A and B are shown apart, each in its own frame.
Chain A
Amino acid sequence: MKTITCQEIIDAVAKLCIEACHHLGDDVLKAFEDAAAKETAQGGKEILKLLTENARIAKEDNIPICQDTGFAVVFLEIGQQVKIEGGDINQAINEGVRLGYKKGYLRKSIVGHPLNRVNTGDNTPCVIHTTMVPGENIKITVAPKGGGSENMSALKMLKPAEGVEGVKEFIINTVKNAGPNPCPPLIVGVGIGGTMEKAAIMAKEALLRDIGSVNPQRDLAQLEDELLEEINKLGIGPQGLGGRTTALAVHIKTFGTHIASLPVAVNLNCHASRHKSVLL
């Protein structure tokens, strides 16, 4: 049995918030480069190069890649053999977000009540998804999620008879309807199956996968390739100004579902696909 203190968790979360907002992953940077080489629209090509330049400035000057430093979405994987000491883990994570957003000069974008809309001033509450796993570690992932792309995400409960064709149509239409709004080129996270909320969480989890990684399930890998090709035929392009790079990747997760159901959730991520993890 290993002991991890709440203070360690607070410090780790604060650091992850800052790193995630300032440093874009190498997989995303490589995807920009590859897309710029292939993009046929001259304007689109230039935009892709400017996104690389933007990421470089953010890293060198330690400023956020995007002013929308997002809703802090925290994925926790807690080992069964871990004892957490010194307080409530959920409070510790919120404290870490509070500290990270203050220390990192990150934008506080959260209102305490969706209807009264008063900014809490510290970017809390954050959203926490917790899973218990074997082992004696805690894995923490912080994924700041911007509002522009989140707003264009969608969920639909399809009829089982609509099958894979219905699923594809819904995903492509979601991207088409979103057009320029979610800041393409996008990473398209898809959750198929489970219940309504399970599909949505899977769609968000799918965004954490490295761009360029191949889905270990062969049928899903093929479906991802087909969807990426179809999405890039839409012509939306970088920033929606026209081009071949509407999405950099489509990532799909699936789960068993009810005989009556076929839920599909599409969580869109802008090109600033931010997430950082640590193992305690």
Chain B
Amino acid sequence: MTIIKISPPLTEDMVLNLRIGQQVLISGKIYTGRDAAHKRLVELIEKGEPLPVDFTGQIIYYVGPSPAKPGQVIGAAGPTTAGRMDTYTPKILEQGLKGMIGKGKRSQEVIESMKINKAVYFAAIGGAAALISKCIKKAEVVAYPELGPEAIYQLEVEDFPAIVVNDAYGGDLYTEGTKQYALD
């Protein structure tokens, strides 16, 4: 299978072109966000207040990087468990978010919301944080610096490798992959 190169902002057509199992290389600007940041974003949405970042067409990478050493752009930066964000995700997708990068299963509610809002979920290799940090060229905190590793960063990435696990058609590679290799 050829590897597709993608760059945010993602359009609906770009999302609909992606299917489970597809390998991608992501380049350009993406945002980070995990538990505490998601909680704050959803609180703002519920109050009808503006978000610190316009997520239209954007990708959120679920990551809490380790601190950068002097001279480094970022520390180790592998994906965190996406399922912890499930409670908040549909509300963020309604804001126009088109892509998410993490690892691990998503809830049925999130999969349904991805179908409705035309979005895609990519898995990066969990724990391969030293390797992944090499494709992060810039990192800048754009919101909630007080949250430390949970702050929202804007990252500039080059050929960030990921695989489509949930597409906008309701497909789930975790279920399909396991089924393919299960014995008995």
Q: Which residues of A are interface residues toward B (Cβ below 8 A)?
A: 40-41, 43, 47, 50-51, 53-55, 57-58, 61, 63-69, 105-109, 117, 119, 121, 146-148, 151, 179-181, 183, 233-237, 239-244, 270-272
Contact = CB atoms under 8 A, between A and B. Distances in A.
A235 B66 contact: no
Q: Is the interface of A mostly helix, strand, loop or mixed?
A: loop
B181 A242 contact: yes
Interface centre among A51, A55, A68, A271 (most CB of B within 10 A): A68
A242 B177 contact: yes
Given A107-B64, A244-B181, A64 B75 contact: yes
Interface of B: 36, 63-69, 72, 75-78, 80-81, 83, 103-105, 123, 125-131, 133-134, 147-150, 163, 165, 173-174, 176-184
A67 B63 contact: yes
A239 B123 contact: yes
Contact of B130 (A41, A63, A108, A234): A63
Contacts, number: 163
Q: Which 6 A-B pairs have the closest CB atoms?
A: A242-B177, A235-B182, A235-B181, A183-B126, A181-B104, A58-B130
A179 B126 CA distance: 13
Contact of A270 (B64, B105, B126, B133): B126
Contact of B105 (A180, A183, A237): A180
A148 B81 contact: yes
Contacts of A235: 177-183
B69 A63 contact: yes
A233 B105 contact: no
Nearest to A244: B181
